[in-house]
Structure 1
Amino acid sequence: MSSYMEAENHTEVSQFFLLGLSEDPELQPLLLGLFLSMYLVTVFGNLLIILAISSASHLHTPMYFFLSNLSFIDICFVSTTVPKMLVNIHTQIKGISYMGCLTQVYFFMIFAGLDNLLLTVMAYDRFVAICHPLHYTVIMNPRLCVLLVLICWLIIFSASLLHILLMRRLAFALGTKIPHFFCELALILKVAQSDTFINNIVLYVATALLCVFPVTGILYSYSQIVSSLLRMSSTASKYKAFSTCGSHLCVVSLFYGTGLGVYLSSAVTHSSNRNSITSVMYTVVTPMLNPFIYTLRNKDVKGALERLLSRAASCP
């Protein structure tokens, strides 16, 4: 009988309700304008990075190939959550369909995970460039670069699909409310009516593996880079070598710093509203800042971007 009721609940649930960042009517126009501006800046900023890299032949190197992929992933990442939030704020309708919620969870996990793995691949690229400069072009050949990106996609697609398949077996009550501005897997598991033990175990294991291995890879790469830099006699050589890592280090610090901030915030406080506001940092702010970090700290990207904009301005 209980299994029948669970199945009935599961089939009857047609939508969830996203509570958003605030229910204050006076704040809605401000939130709409703020997040629409941030979304447009993120999309156009990352799109410009992709166009600048593709239009400049001297930037067709592994480092910029990975950077253009990171920009594409950031566009997709922010597009997974923000447009739906903007529609909900504008229409004052907080509903999201059951399948829409599952789709959002799936793609959010994919692009968050890809950000994580791609930053690790970029760290490896810098490790090879600084520690094995004579063999860089041989090791980081186009075939390996494409293969590394495809492996990242394959790992994340598989892990995300497993979560969704496990989530499909859960039952939910009618009118289930999610205290967030998007469907996040951890929160969905909290509001589920059925047993989520297996889901939580898989979530913890997958999160641990997809965090521990990338972070270990990044730390190892940079430990070898620092060791190599210390062996260099010329200060100019040290600065030139390390300057190529500066932008990547800033992005890594921002990504993991905001992610850690969200985790600590949810662990320390049980305020769902505060957790939602903290989540904005890694879901919206980080993808928005990445183009600025790479443009302001990288002369090659800045130069390519200036030439692209000047050509666009000179066109009739």
Structure 2
Amino acid sequence: MTNEVSYNPTKLDRASTFYIAGHRGLVGSAIWRKLRSDGFTNLVGRSSSELDLKNRNEVYSFFAETKPRYVVLAAAKVGGILANNSYPVDFLSDNLRIQVNVMDAAREYGVERLLFLGSSCIYPKFAEQPIREDSLLTGHLEPTNDAYAIAKIAGIMQVQAVRRQYGLPWISAMPTNLYGPGDNFSPEGSHVLPALIRRYDEAAEAGEACVTNWGTGSPLREFLHVDDMADACLHLLENYDGPSQVNVGTGSDISIKELASMVASAVGYAGKIEWDVTKPDGTPRKLLDVSKLSEAGWKASIDLQEGIRSTVAWYRANRDGIRS
């Protein structure tokens, strides 16, 4: 085992091969757009039908063929409370296999810089707010998504192990709740913001008098537009090197009740809003401490209200062809 080496991140070579795992997902597609607009000319992506990241042999063959210099690992099995609570085995097993296969192959074939993307659900359910990076592994997880969280924690540990054993300057970033173009708007698999957009848009179109949401509406959540997330990823790759995961968020939060009202206004729904308190709320609050990210020289720029309005417009323009 070798010691951690010092490394000063520099501007990435725009002509080098850059693999975005999960390039058709919410985060991966935003990163693809960001890299393309920033001058990267050799981006590589494969759909799940072209490359099964759970298949180790396929992943190794892909890396042997393409030999990427840089990798962003944005591929994952993701979903909201209902999906996570209903299929914990899938969320644990699928994500572990994806991460291990991609990172092992990346190390084997000499990937210079890798960014692993996790989730704020890695932190304890009752972590001190705002949540610092050093809160990791200090308490119990939220039980409705603990399997997914454990998989993502394992990914952070693998990045840290690679840094210690091989001296590679790989890093991890933990985004808060993301939203924007390319999101999953399905009733069963979506997160709270796209679920609300679809629910209220359909209610407005149907002229429904009342919309009922899960829980009490009291939990506080932080939301980051996915284009901001993509910008932060490139910034971290070029400006940060350290073993600790980096929180990526806005540094401010909003109640689900406030969010619901904001979405209703954005879609033009004027009916009644009710809450089914027999359904779970999930974690009471999840606000990330973004001090480390700020110290690295980055902050969010897309306002939540404007971000919701633009996402509603994208959803309406694309709803016939998006995941449903």
TM-score by length of 1: 0.28
Structure with the bigger RCO (C-alpha within 8 Å, sep 6+) is: 1
Greater fraction helix: 1
Larger radius of gyration: 1
Greater fraction strand: 2
